[in-house]
A and B are shown apart, each in its own frame.
Chain A
Amino acid sequence: MADVPQHLSALSDILGPDVDLATLEKLHVISNGDLNRAINHFYEGSYHTVTNPGVPAISSTISTSKAPKIVSANGGLGSIYRDDQPRISIVGAKRKAQDSFFPKYFGELTVIAYALGGMVKIEAGEEVLFDRKRPNSQVQHGRKKKGLGSVSIGWGRTAKENHVVRFTKQNGFEIGRLQVDTSRWVSKLMDYKLAEFRGTIILAPPQLRTGAEIVLTMRCYLTAEAFSSLGSNQKLTLKSKSGQPVFVNEAQETEDEVDLKQKKYAVNALFRELALTPVATNTSVGPRDRGIDIHDGSTTEGSLAASNGEDNENEQEPEVSDKELDVLYEKAQQHGRAFEPMDPPKTMTYTLKPYQRVALAWMYNKEVLETASDNHKALHPLWEEYEFKKEDGYEPKLDEPKKYYFNPYSGEMSLEFPTSDKLCRGGILADEMGLGKTIEILSLVHSNPMNKSSIDTPEEAFSRLSTSTSASNSTSTDKQSSPTTLVVCPMSLLSQWRDEAINSSDGSLSVEVYYGAARGWTDSSLQQKGAPDILITSYGTVLSEFSSLLNNSGADTSKSLTNMLDIKAQNNWKKGSALFNVEFHRVVLDEAHHIKSRMTQTAKACYALNSPRRWVVTGTPIQNKLEDLFSLVHFLRAEPWSNFSFWRTFITIPFESKDKDKALKVVTSVLEPLVLRRTKMTKDENGNPIITLPERIVEIEYLKFSEQENDIYQALFKDGKTKFNHYCRAGTVLKHYASIFQLLMRMRQVCDHPMLVLNNRTKQTEGKDSSELALDMKDGPIQLEELMKKFSSGEGDNSEQTFGASVLQNLVSSTGEVTECPICYEELADGVLMPCMHSACRSCILDYLQRLDNKGEMGECPICRKGPITEDSLIEYTTLSVSDSIPSDAKEEEEKRSGFVAGNVLDAGAETNGGRVVQIRRNNFKSSAKLEALMKHLNELRKTEPKTKSVVFSQFTGMLDLVEKILERDGFQFLRLDGSHSHVAREQTLQAFRTVDHPARVMLISLRAGGVGLNLTTASRVFMLDPWWNYAIEAQAIDRVHRIGQLKPVIVKRFIIENSVEEKILSIQNRKNALASGLGMTKLEAQGARMEDLQEIFS
């Protein structure tokens, strides 16, 4: 329309071009300039007759741009308009009681009321009015009342609420009151200005006495308020009730929560009473069959506390069982097939596998946002569609809305079609470990760089608006956009990402690492030309920058998440923070289960990262609890699920109660558009598996303890059992869980090697820890020459010297007389020397020393009583013939018999005399059953397949230390990787291991440090020295080797000691009951399961 005056332009835009100027003018006058009233008048058709416009008292913000607007009319749910619907823009405003906008006939019901007193005369067919006394807030201190009679305000005080609804004659004389059941919800509807009621008397006794029953019909008219925001919704709180801007914190939420619950209850009751049924629902999560008692809106303490207390989140929540997980992931898997596979541009040199191209297509499509008119017209899962009822004697106008939408979960109603939200430009890439998610992300970076989508569509503008800061604060353009894709990954994978990124590109992609001292980028440099395409950083870096920023701005980190955003907007971020002052083109979180707990600072830091395109990469989006998933969804800013209270109410609580299936259905529908997951087992459309890997063989090798190890183990076991029984009797097992766990851990350590547990055995070695004891190799191989020198020259008893010298001479000389052991009088079996150079069989002397120790006496030489002597001070010697590097079998036999290992390493410094080599060493290394088994395998492997590399995993770094020693003895070159290594050291180690010809054939890795993300495909053998409680961790470790890029079959050996706690752990693993509750278990049952496990272990 041409020539629309300024003041009418908005109205014209809204109502459409068909409305003529005169009408517009009239509307404008009637409504006194208020847009909303004007619209309502228009739709009511009442602008012809209204004379008194009333007092407009509302300010509402309505944008007047001509472009299709997306304005939140439903409390932040972000619904998108369909083009053919009339648009009503009412944004976050409150109404006064007198304004009777739009009272829309809704339905009617018959009620029984009762009369008060007999003064009034009424007759059937008479119209009545309903009204409310103002709720009487009498503050009662002390008792908190539960249930409907009172409302808890959250600070321990209660207000007694008044439900009374009176009905009166037209002239205002009171007739009576509604029954309590009815008045409960009616009163709320009236209080919150959601509905109006008019009634007609149907039946009344001729004589009205107090308490007489009157039958009425009540007609319900909904106000516009009912269709607008039901009060300030949690996320974008702008103003409190007093109109001041306020930080949303937990306490505030509670009050709003209360209102919300009340309204929800009231509206649900209305629907129930009016017997309204939906025309259409989202079938996957039909609310009626969900069983969630949505109509019971009583503000029970439990649910309030649940949504209130973010801190009791971790209190023994049920975990998701594997079966449930499979169900969840199944849907996500099918999703990937919907798209046409896509190739990245030529800048990517790596050729994608077919399933990777599918992933690229999916991700690309998600980033390039379709407009609302596209294929996402699915009804939002929580909403239902209804049709307005026809009111008697009233013809609806043609352009009046016929349908409305109701969300029983929040009690909200809307005239607009609420779609499944599509504002989330990103998702969860949840392919199984080892399928090449890194490559998939890199292909996305190549395919959708900044330049293409640099022009903001209005949706993008809005999405940035609603996702960055609160709507009232439009200063989000403080942040300049950067073309960089930010990748956040664990520290150990930094180089892996960088290398993959560089190697898969033709050189046009610039890749930088932002870590440690080399943080060469600032916020300004990231926005300029030279900014890298990919910036890789670690979770630690993100966390530390975030923390320092908070410290600088003096913010209180304990406040809620949205609070963070407010502060950010209101205080200026310090310049120079590269990570938080920039809007990245894209943000990717690798191994995103690092932020699975939303309470951690790391998670909060990641949430604060800024980008419209947000991706999350993880092999396991749900590790244990559904809340793990929430954290990811929150990061993705996928409305409305990213709101915690919402999630809690609609997913967590149903899941915890018996409604697991329904809750899972909701989760599935949440996941479906967000998650792409394939596993190694997934089949493509032709039924072939998407990748073929060489086979993987996992074997369990059962070992037996040696006698000594068994003694130690049994002692510990008895000790543990005693303690356990004690706790059982006292009934405090689960309270003393920590100490039982410690016991169990020590038992597991003994299974590896007793030294990990044994304290120092002699007073001498006090101060040294057990690993030092086992490894006191400081002196190393004692040079024979030195020894001889010591004895032939220097001070001391002459005879002693001579004696010593002669002994040594004897050892080396080829005649080698056979000496007799002074204790057993037999030929020296595995002879050892004492410092005084007297010799005896190893077992004899050890036996003797043991007895002395038992008596509490000092160890001494049996011959000369020279002491103190301990086991470690014994000197062992071995003789090898020069040609062999492998010990003779006879010697091995002896060693095995005695249960100890002397080790046989050819020492270049040893004396050689006529073909015999004598190696002298301190006798202080003991082996264990597992070490023996490991060395047996490694030695065999060295003989048969010298080029094969193996990986040895253990949970205990102490154990790895011992393995190192034994490897040194046997001449193996090895590499080591654990948590204590610096980033640089790790990189070097991994690099070395990956080099095929590198002489180190064995890599020792601590289970935790190595389990994540590494690529160890150069190895094809895996040895797991000890089992973990959760087989998934072991599986992940094995997947480091058995993954894409592996060319040979992978053989895994797990060492388990028979009849030990390890065997019990295995059986627990198999039951998949590892100290967690399964499907359908209550807390008590879960505790019972744990007790069972413990009893099994200690049986």
Chain B
Amino acid sequence: MALPKRIIKETERLMADPAPGISAMAHEDNLRYFDVIITGPEQSPFAGGVFKLELFLPEEYPMSPPKVRFLTKIYHPNIDKLGRICLDILKDKWSPALQIRTVLLSVQALLSSPNPDDPLANDVAQHWKENENAAIQTAQEWTRKYAM
């Protein structure tokens, strides 16, 4: 069994006790590859949207963070058009005590509180800073367009 016990356990727990608004399923062919669905949090411009993500557990996991990417188009200052996420715990602030669940929860939280001062998508962040309302509008539009 090449798969570390931890991954197995996590997967089991994810199945047994999923977090609200988050669903993560391991792929059949590759147990390190997860199909993730996050619903847009209430009170956020992404509310009502259903966003698809992919999550991959690299070789050194849990010592190195999982790789997460948005598959659904989304208008967010910290998410670029490729779907890459600018989140500290996915990079330097990763800790092996964190797990898939917590990562996904953090992503969901990021949707609730965008941070234009630490941008990944410059133009979006610009927009968000200059005219937040307009940006929110756009975000909602995109949610309607792509995530529903």
Contacts and interface: CB of A to CB of B under 8 A. Distances in A.
Interface of A: 822-826, 844, 847-848, 851, 862-863, 865
Interface in B76-135: 95-97
Nearest to A850: B63
Interface in B25-83: 62-63
Nearest to B8: A825
Output the residue of B4, B63, B96 with the most chain A CB within 10 A: B96
Contacts of B6: 823-826
20 contacts: A822-B97, A823-B6, A823-B96, A823-B97, A824-B4, A824-B5, A824-B6, A824-B62, A825-B5, A825-B6, A825-B9, A825-B10, A826-B5, A826-B6, A844-B96, A847-B63, A862-B95, A863-B95, A863-B97, A865-B95
A841 to B, nearest CB: 11
B5 A823 contact: no
B4 to A, nearest CB: 7
A49 to B, nearest CB: 120
Nearest to A824: B6
Main SS at interface, chain B: loop
Nearest to B93: A865
Contacts of B62: 823-824
B63 A851 contact: yes
B5 A862 contact: no
Nearest to B62: A823
A824 B97 CA distance: 9
B61 to A, nearest CB: 11
Contacts of B97: 822-823, 862-863
Contacts of B63: 847-848, 851
A160 to B, nearest CB: 88
Contacts of B95: 862-863, 865
Given A844-B96, A862-B96, 4 more contacts: A822-B96, A824-B4, A825-B5, A862-B97
Interface of B: 4-6, 9-10, 62-63, 95-97
Contacts of A863: 95, 97
A608 B40 CA distance: 101
A865 B88 CA distance: 14
A559 B97 CA distance: 77
B145 to A, nearest CB: 39
A823 B63 CA distance: 8
Nearest to B60: A851
Contacts of A844: 96
A443 B4 CA distance: 78
B98 to A, nearest CB: 8
Nearest to A847: B63
A863 B99 CA distance: 11
A823 B5 CA distance: 10
A269 to B, nearest CB: 89
Contacts of B9: 825
A847 B6 CA distance: 16
Nearest to A865: B95
Contacts of B10: 825
A858 to B, nearest CB: 12
Contacts of A847: 63
Contacts of B4: 824
A846 to B, nearest CB: 12
A826 B96 CA distance: 13
Nearest to B95: A862
A381 to B, nearest CB: 81
A865 B97 CA distance: 10
B37 to A, nearest CB: 24
A865 B5 CA distance: 24
A823 B4 CA distance: 11
B131 to A, nearest CB: 37
Nearest to A863: B97
Contacts of A825: 5-6, 9-10
A824 B9 CA distance: 10
Contacts of A862: 95-97
Contacts of A848: 63, 96
B15 to A, nearest CB: 15
The 3 closest A-B pairs by CB, nearest first: A862-B97, A825-B6, A822-B97
Contacts of A823: 6, 62, 96-97
B67 to A, nearest CB: 17
A851 B62 CA distance: 12
A402 B94 CA distance: 109
Nearest to A860: B95
Nearest to B10: A825
Contacts of A826: 5-6
Contacts of A824: 4-6, 62
A869 to B, nearest CB: 12
A847 B63 CA distance: 9
Nearest to B4: A824
A859 to B, nearest CB: 12
A817 B12 CA distance: 22
A848 B62 CA distance: 10
A851 B5 CA distance: 21
A1014 B63 CA distance: 56
A823 B99 CA distance: 9
A851 B96 CA distance: 11
A799 to B, nearest CB: 17
A825 B113 CA distance: 31
A405 B5 CA distance: 99
- Counting chain B CB atoms within 10 Å of each CB, which of A825, A826, A851 scores highest? A825
Contacts of B96: 822-823, 844, 848, 862
B20 to A, nearest CB: 23
A865 B9 CA distance: 24
A820 to B, nearest CB: 9
Nearest to A838: B97
Nearest to A857: B92
Nearest to A848: B96
A1056 B96 CA distance: 40
A862 to B, nearest CB: 4
Nearest to A826: B5
A863 B94 CA distance: 10
B42 to A, nearest CB: 30
B50 to A, nearest CB: 30
B66 to A, nearest CB: 15
Contacts of A822: 96-97
